[in-house]
Structure 1
Amino acid sequence: MARARHRYSIALALALGTLVSGAGRAEDQGDLPPYKMLRSLQFVQDSVVLGDNSAGEMQRFMLSTLDERLRNADKSVFDDGRNVDAVMIYAMSGGNPDTLEYLMSRDVDGHFDNRVADLLRKYLSGKGLLVVNSLADVAKEYRDKKIGPYLSLVAGNVMMGKNPKAALQLFDWARLTAPGTIVEEAALRRSVTLTAQAGMIPEALGYSQRYVRRFLHSPYAGQFADQFVQLVVDHSADVKQQDIIDILSFMDPPRQREVYLRIARRSAVAGKMDLAKLASTRAQDIGSDGSDSFNALASFYGGIANISSPDIGVAVRDINQIPEGELNPRDRALRDAAKAVADAVMREPDAKSLAQGSQINISNEDNAEHGGAAASQTEGNQPQIAASVGQGAADAAPTQKGDGQEATSPFNTFVTTSRSKLDAIDGLLKQESH
Structure 2
Amino acid sequence: MRIALVAVLRWAVLGWTGLMVLPLHAEPVTPPYEMVRTLQSLQAQVAQGNSQALAAQRALVMRMEKDFMDAPALVWQDPRNARAAVVHLLSGGHPAVMRELLKFDPLPMVDVDLMNGALAYVEGREQQAAELLSRFDPRELPPSLGGHVALALAAVTVRDQPETALTYLGLARLLLPGSLVEEAALRREVFVAGTLDDIERFQSLSITYLRRFRNSIYAPDFRRRFMMAIDTLGFAQSPEKFALIESLFNEFDEDTQRTLYLRMARTALLHGQLDIVRKVVDRAFPLAMGGTREEALLKLYKAGGAMDAQNIKLVRDTLWSVDKTLLEPNELDLLDAVYSVLNSVRHWPEPPARVIGEFSSYRPGNKPADPKWITPVMSRANQLLTETDKLLEQAGNP
Give yes or no for TM over 0.5: yes
Q: Is the 8 A contact 2:277 2:305 kept in 1?
A: yes
Q: Is the 8 A contact 1:143 1:152 kept in 2?
A: no
Aligned to 1:407: none
Q: Is the 8 A contact 1:152 1:173 kept in 2?
A: yes
Matches within 5 A, 1:206-245: 206-233=204-231, 234-236=233-235, 237=238, 241=242, 243-245=244-246
1: distance between equivalents of 2:257 and 2:27? 45
Matches within 5 A, 1:335-374: 335-345=335-345, 360-362=361-363
Find 2:114's aligned residue among 91, 113, 116: 116
Deviation, 1:15, is 4.2
2: distance between equivalents of 1:304 and 1:107? 73
Aligned to 2:173: 175
Deviation, 1:340, is 3.7
Aligned to 2:352: none
Q: TM-score, normalised to structure 2's length?
A: 0.74
Find 2:136's aligned residue among 135, 138, 142: 138
Find 2:75's aligned residue among 65, 77, 87: 77
Deviation, 1:305, is 3.3
1: distance between equivalents of 2:81 and 2:309? 66
Matches within 5 A, 1:9-408: 9=6, 11-12=8-9, 15=12, 30-132=28-130, 134-140=132-138, 142-233=140-231, 234-236=233-235, 237=238, 241=242, 243-286=244-287, 294-307=294-307, 311-345=311-345, 360-362=361-363
Secondary structure of 1:361's aligned partner: coil
User: 2:205 is matched by which residue type in structure 1?
Assistant: Y
Deviation, 1:298, is 3.0
Q: Is the 8 A contact 1:192 1:227 kept in 2?
A: no
Aligned to 1:385: none
2: distance between equivalents of 1:217 and 1:146? 23
Cα gap change, 1:315/1:64 in structure 2, threshold over 3 Å: closer, same or farther?
farther
- The unaligned stretches of length 5 or more in structure 2 are 16-25, 349-357, 367-391, 393-398
Q: Is the 8 A contact 2:87 2:145 kept in 1?
A: yes
Cα gap change, 1:301/1:101 in structure 2, threshold over 3 Å: closer, same or farther?
farther
Deviation, 1:205, is 0.5
Cα gap change, 1:341/1:73 in structure 2, threshold over 3 Å: closer, same or farther?
farther
Cα gap change, 1:139/1:10 in structure 2, threshold over 3 Å: closer, same or farther?
farther
Q: For 1:227-258, what per-residue CA distance to the aligned partner results, in whole angstroms no more than 9, with x for missing partners?
A: 33344443433855554343232333333333
Q: TM-score, normalised to structure 1's length?
A: 0.68
2: distance between equivalents of 1:63 and 1:319? 56
User: 1:87 is matched by which residue type in structure 2?
Assistant: A
User: 1:76 is matched by which residue type in structure 2?
Assistant: L
Q: Is the 8 A contact 1:67 1:96 kept in 2?
A: yes
User: 1:153 is matched by which residue type in structure 2?
Assistant: L
> Percentage identity across aligned positions?
26
Deviation, 1:189, is 1.3
Secondary structure of 1:46's aligned partner: helix
Q: Is the 8 A contact 1:30 1:69 kept in 2?
A: yes
2: distance between equivalents of 1:88 and 1:62? 16
Q: Is the 8 A contact 2:9 2:60 kept in 1?
A: no
1: distance between equivalents of 2:339 and 2:194? 34
Equivalent residue pairs, number: 345
- The unaligned stretches of length 5 or more in structure 1 are 19-27, 349-356, 366-401, 403-434
Cα gap change, 1:130/1:318 in structure 2, threshold over 3 Å: closer, same or farther?
farther
Cα gap change, 1:104/1:134 in structure 2, threshold over 3 Å: closer, same or farther?
closer
Q: Is the 8 A contact 2:309 2:345 kept in 1?
A: no
Deviation, 1:30, is 4.9
Cα gap change, 1:344/1:73 in structure 2, threshold over 3 Å: closer, same or farther?
farther
